[in-house]
Structure 1
């Protein structure tokens, strides 16, 4: 591989990583501010995450088929513009209803990033290379959920939460210009299908068990992951009385585990089948959460045991997300855009389930977060252990 090709690939990796990181950055940056935003806006602040995830999930189902029909880059450019507009709207919001509305607009734009980054990877690489590439992107994009809460916590020391959304608007503007560095990966010969035909792909995908089983395993795991993301600020800050600026460090520990497992997974996929990796990583996550449930209800759980076992759980995301995504998209390479959209809609839409369950089951301890996480981690593992049949 010559120098110019290596340089071009490095640029692609950096831009795709940034696109993949859009979701986590858009939410994680204001996690430390959630208790304060709730007081300021006089409303249930979890709804700002719910509304974002609803917009994020539904919009992908529209953008996916469109990208299969008109290409990957045009939807990305439109998405970045909408993200910037939504971020500015959030920064200027004075009521809970205003910020909920602008979070939906922000999400409609943000969802094009990770969804089309996955589709571009499937356009360019085969099954094993795609998994390695996704693992590489996961390692790089993990900077966002580490940096997000840390930056948010520091911003709170000097100014208000509004500044966090001004920062997101600036990042979106920079990303708009970075998109010019990406090639159009959708072949012209593949652009002959109509939008109507593209949307009919969803019916086909729901009937294709090899595809949908990977999607369901990932979705169940992400219900658990979003339960942690949404519930942890209140558990750590309100229940354990951790300072908001220090919450970011506790959150970051989990992302370091994710990065480590993504690096290991990149090596393992050369020698171990994707389905086997998915099964054992899901089982390990289940074991961690079942242990946490036992410790909690036997009153042996401390902040340290909570942090350690959540670290094990979250680390498995580095294997589960990459292997399930690559295996699912590999089963339907001819409609990767629509498949990535459906997968993304269910993956990130899972956070809607998390926020609703946490809202309905409010406790003054970690009980609701731990139990919901355990239930869906077990479900994910059970789906992953179902018999595997090659296409």
Structure 2
């Protein structure tokens, strides 16, 4: 029996499901209420810009909040910051459900994100606390299997809840979800922070920790490579309602199914990545995946510019390109966490903040360039993928992988 087989048999599925559910609080809060945006605007007498600001406020909160939770989890332990974040998430979700004005909802969404981001930051740090480099990549792929269900199920569930009880019911569901996963975490999740991490965190401020990390070229390379690859997903999320419904005429009732199909590709590639990790290192996988992603990006650009095949070429290429996300995210995160395991919380936070920051910039750029065609989306995606490959090969992987 091989080592990989032994690891597979000993997979702690309870921990994986719990950490995946905690991490999914953020994606769930984004994807579930997308079908409700028009209803929110009508109910609160909000302009299209104010309704869109509820998304932007959430992304900003996710980016900023992670920077606080990372060093805190290194210094105080994993449990306390996580449970604090879940409490904030639950309270803010209830506030959003009771919102009486656009400003109240926008503020509630920002605070909701400040709580939601604790799940992702701490979960990734817990994985690194417990596993080696390659095992971390494998466990992150498993965790993303759970988290990846959010983009598939959330729009469908959100649409159903909208039809049944209005847009506020979506936020009451988020409130209930937070209560459940928070109680399970308080009951089952043990402290995993090492004494070495605790002792090291006590000697530096959060600012000193982040400055030290920024002086690590490999870490910066992994962070930017993962973030820029992930920016393609944020760009797709922001562009897909207009592209699929208005440009390609796909019925709104079918939007969730088409949107979720790409999430199936991401989940599938995550699981193929687990298989590859039995025979390849995480660095070897991302070295090839980053170049393959650029290739798909070039083909998508050609299809978007020429209009050849229209939806029948653009949508399959989107599926293939977004599927590389599953090979890139877990492996770049594992590589970054392996650079300095003593600062696992700070690294996890920095990776998350950079990822959401890049996603916000990319999706905003696609919106600014919007012309009713897939061209702006394709331009932004290709630029992000080229940047991802360059950062990976020039900074994180200075030597050619065999």
TM interval, shorter chain, is over 0.9
Provide the rounded CA distance (Å) in 2 between the counterparts of 1:366 and 1:165.
32
Cα distance between partner residues in 1 of 2:297 and 2:38? 26
Q: Secondary structure at the match of 1:350?
A: helix
Distance change in 2, residues 1:315/1:303 (3 Å): same
1:71 aligns with 2:74: no
Once the two structures are TM-superposed, the CA of residue 389 in structure 1 deviates from its matched residue by: 4.1
| Cα gap change, 1:268 to 1:46, in 2 (>3 Å) | same
Compute the displacement of 1:356 (Å): 2.5
1:187 has 2:194 as partner: yes
What is aligned with 2:292?
A: 284
Pick the aligned partner of 1:305 from 303, 313, 334: 313
Cross-structure match for 1:147: 153
Provide the rounded CA distance (Å) in 2 between the counterparts of 1:289 and 1:39. Answer: 37
SS in 2 for 1:184: coil
Structure-1 separation of matches of 2:362 and 2:52: 10
**Mapping for residues 159-170 of structure 1, pairs under 5 Å:** 159-170=165-176
SS in 2 for 1:385: helix
Given the alignment, which residue of 17, 36, 58 partners 2:20? 17
Question: 1:43 — aligned with what?
Answer: 48
Candidates 98, 111, 119, aligned match of 1:105:
111
Q: Secondary structure at the match of 1:111?
A: helix
The separation in 2 between residues aligned to 1:65 and 1:321, in whole angstroms, is 22
Q: Match for residue 3 of structure 1?
A: none
2:332 to 300, 324, 341: 324
Q: Is the Cα contact below 8 Å between 2:230 and 2:329 reproduced in 1?
A: no
1:32 aligns with 2:35: yes
Residue in structure 2 matched with residue 126 of structure 1 by the alignment: 132
Counterpart CA distance in 2 for 1:168 and 1:234 is 26
Encode CA deviations 1:183-241: one digit per residue, 9 max, x unaligned: 10013453234384343110010010011101011111122210101111121123323
The whole-number CA distance in structure 2 between the counterparts of 1:352 and 1:253 is: 23
CA distance in 2: counterparts of 1:220 and 1:158, whole angstroms: 38
Deviation for aligned residue 1:155: 2.3
Provide the rounded CA distance (Å) in 2 between the counterparts of 1:96 and 1:43: 11
Query: Match of 1:366?
Result: 374
2:365 is matched with which residue?
A: 357
Gaps of 5+ in 1: 1-5
Please give the per-residue CA displacement for 1:120-140, whole angstroms capped at 9, x wherever unaligned.
Answer: 000000001111101111122
SS of structure 1 residue aligned to 2:48: coil
Choose which of 30, 45, 58 in structure 1 pairs with 2:64.
Answer: 58
Residue number in structure 1 paired with 2:121: 115
**Residue correspondences, number:** 386
Counterparts of 2:102 and 2:309, CA distance in 1: 35
2:394 aligned counterpart, secondary structure: coil
CA distance in 2, matches of 1:88, 1:267: 41
Partners of 1:36 and 1:350 lie apart in 2 by 28
User: CA contact under 8 A between 2:197 and 2:343: conserved in structure 1?
Assistant: no
Q: Please, which moves more after superposition, 308-317 or 37-46?
A: 37-46
TM value normalised by structure 1: 0.93
Using structure 2 for the length normalisation, give the TM-score: 0.91
Moved over 6 A (4+): none
8 Å contact 1:64–1:337 — kept in the other structure? yes
Matched, 1:341 2:349: yes
Name the stretch that deviates more: 259-268 or 102-111: 259-268
What are the residue-to-residue correspondences of 1:204-283 with 2, within 5 Å?
A: 204-283=212-291
8 A contact 1:11–1:181 mirrored in 2: no
Give the counterpart of 2:91 among 85, 88, 99: 85
Question: What secondary structure does 1:363 align onto?
Answer: coil
Counterpart-to-counterpart distance in 1, 2:246 and 2:106 = 23
Please give the secondary structure, in 2, of the residue aligned with 1:261: helix
